[in-house]
Each structure stands twice: as structure tokens, then as C-alpha cells.
Structure 1
Amino acid sequence: MLWTILGWIVLGLVAGFIARAVVPGKDDIGIVRTILLGIVGSFVGGLLASIFTGFSSFSPSSWIGSIIGAIIVLVIYNKVTGRKAVGR
């Protein structure tokens, strides 16, 4: 159980940092929100993968799905909160 939780935290951290690096502009959301962003992005990416492929598993493609999900969640978060408008 502990390793599962630590795995989600590490996956969330990596996916969240990559999403923050890919989406243009400066993010000042902190490490906890970055981890949460990555974890929620993992769920979104996993959901999308299961919809389009019919299965989900832990593989390199799940990391890619997590990153894509985190990017989607970060863009939605920025739109909803009004943060980080491009060009500011």
C-alpha cells in the first residue's frame, strides 16, 4: 500500500513538472499542486487511454497518457482560475 501511494506521488510529480514545462508561461502553483496536477492528469490520461484503446496498464504509454492528461488538466486549471494568460 505504501509503495502504491509513493508511486502515485512520484508519477504525479514527474507528470506535473513535465506538464508545467510544456505549457507556456510561468506557473507558481508549488510542489503540492504540481503533484496533485500530475495525479489528476494520470487519472484523466488513463481514462482517455481506456476509452480509446479499451485497456489500461502500467507501461511507457501510461506515462505518456499521464503527461498528456496533466497538460489537459493544467490548461483547464489555468482557464478556470484565470491564471497565466499567454503574453503577460
Structure 2
Amino acid sequence: MIGLIGWIIGGGIVGWLASMITGRNAQQGLIGNILAGIIGAFVGGALYGLLFGGGINFEWNITSFIVALIGAVIVLAVWNFISRRA
């Protein structure tokens, strides 16, 4: 249960920072930030694993925070691209 709460809080923080970087902060709320952060953590972890080898690390530390942030920025950039075309 504690791990789930950590993912929600960490996802919210990462998603919020990523939304500020991509300029979507005013367009998405708390749930959008949490989802962007959690999905971004998985995307970033997968890309990190492909580029540098190794598996997905489910611990929160500075490296996983940066990887999750980069993944969330990628997710939001793709979302911006898709939503502009629609």
C-alpha cells in the first residue's frame, strides 16, 4: 500500500514538473499530472533499459526521478503533437 501511495505522489510531482516544462500546466489537473508522471516513469524506464541495459527499477532515487521526468516530458510532448493534429 505504501508503494502505491509513493507512486501516486511521485507521479504527481513528476507529472507537474513535466507539464511545466512542456507548457501544459494550465491545461491538466491533478489526475492528469499523476497519470503523466506514472506513464512517463514507465516510458522513461523502458527507454533507459533499451539504451543502457538493465531492468526497470521501482525504487525512487535521483536517477529514477530524472528518468521518470524525461519519460513524462516525452509523453506530454507526444500528447501535445496528437492533440494539435486533431
Shorter chain as denominator, the TM-score bin is 0.7 to 0.9
Displaced runs of 4 or more, over 2 A: 24-27, 56-59
Counterpart-to-counterpart distance in 2, 1:25 and 1:67: 14
**Runs of at least 5 residues in structure 2 that lack an aligned partner in the other structure:** none
Answer yes or no: is 1:82 the counterpart of 2:84.
yes
Bigger CA radius of gyration: 1
Q: In structure 2, do the counterparts of structure 1 residues 60 and 76 end up closer, same or farther at CA, with 3 Å as the change threshold? A: same
**Runs of at least 5 residues in structure 1 that lack an aligned partner in the other structure:** 84-88
Counterpart-to-counterpart distance in 2, 1:19 and 1:61: 16
How large is the Cα RMSD of the aligned pairs? Answer: 1.7
- Length, aligned pairs only: 82
Q: When the two structures are superposed, what TM-score results if normalisation uses the length of structure 2?
A: 0.84
2:68 to 60, 66, 76: 66
Identity of aligned residues (%): 34
Counterpart-to-counterpart distance in 1, 2:25 and 2:10: 22
Partner of 1:20: 19
What pairs up with 1:29-44 in 2 under 5 angstroms?
A: 29-44=28-43
Counterpart-to-counterpart distance in 2, 1:16 and 1:26: 9
